[in-house]
Structures are given as C-alpha cells and as structure tokens.
Amino acid sequence: MYTVKETIDRLVVLLQRHDMIVYARINRQTEAKWYYGRATRPLEFILFDDPRLSAPLVEKNPMAALCFPMRIIAWKDEIGRCRISFKDPLIAFAEFRLDLEDFQWPALTPLFARILME
C-alpha cells in the first residue's frame, strides 16, 4: 500500500512514460493548511493530457474540451487507505457522442491498476 504522495509520484511517472503532459500537481492538504490553517487528510491531484490524442476529439466536438486536461485524485480515506479516482475519458467521451473507434485514446484504468499493484 502506498501513501498519497507515493501514489501520485507513481502515476506521474506512468503518465510521462506514456507521453502524457502533467500540467499540474496540487496538494490540497498543504493548501488547506497554508491558506486556511485547516488540517485535512492527504489529498493530491494531477492535471494531465496528451494533446496529440485530445486535439482531434476537441476538433470533432468542442464541448469535449471540458474533459481536458484530465484529473486524477488520490486521498487517504477514513481508515488510512490511499484511494484514487478519475473519470475515464473513454466513458466521458460517450457524453459527447464521439465515435471512439476513430481515436487512439489508451484505456487508463488497467494502466493505473497495474502501476498501483506493483
């Protein structure tokens, strides 16, 4: 089991290996403490994308730009486990009636699961 920081570290490396751009890494725990003096459980998220893959989707339907950059969050739950969540783009794109057979977007769920089980 990894900490929130270790999980995000591993996800950043995985995304970069798959030629994704990591635009931002945000630590909400630090922000809450710094700006508001509030203690919270660890929670971090990253914003990422691969414009080579997303640009054709956005060109076909500009509303798809609402999905980019994508986000994945990792947080420590009530019993101390690290959890992750993200909106899989393959599911999100169905909302915009895009034919995914025309695009080469990778299935992220198996990638994330594999790296977090190592």
pTM: 0.82
Q: What 3-state class would DSSP assign to 95?
A: helix
Ranges of each domain in the chain: 4-117
Both tokens assigned to 4: 């929130």
- At 100 the pLDDT is 67
Q: Count Cβ atoms below 10 Å from residue 28 Cβ, excluding itself.
A: 16
Q: Rounded to 5 degrees, what are φ and ψ at 33?
A: -70, -45
> pLDDT of the chain along its 118 residues, tens only?
899 999 999 999 999 998 899 999 999 888 777 778 888 899 999 999 988 888 888 888 888 888 889 999 999 999 999 999 988 777 777 777 777 666 677 777 777 777 677 6
HSE at residue 29, side-chain half, CA atoms within 13 A, is 12
Decide if domain 4-117 falls under CATH 3.30.310.70: yes
Q: What 3-state class would DSSP assign to 115?
A: helix
Beta-strand relationship, 43-49 and 70-76? antiparallel
**What single string gives the DSSP state of each residue in 38-69?**
-----EEEEEEE-HHHHHHHHHH-GGGGGG-S
Q: Count Cβ atoms below 10 Å from residue 43 Cβ, excluding itself.
A: 19
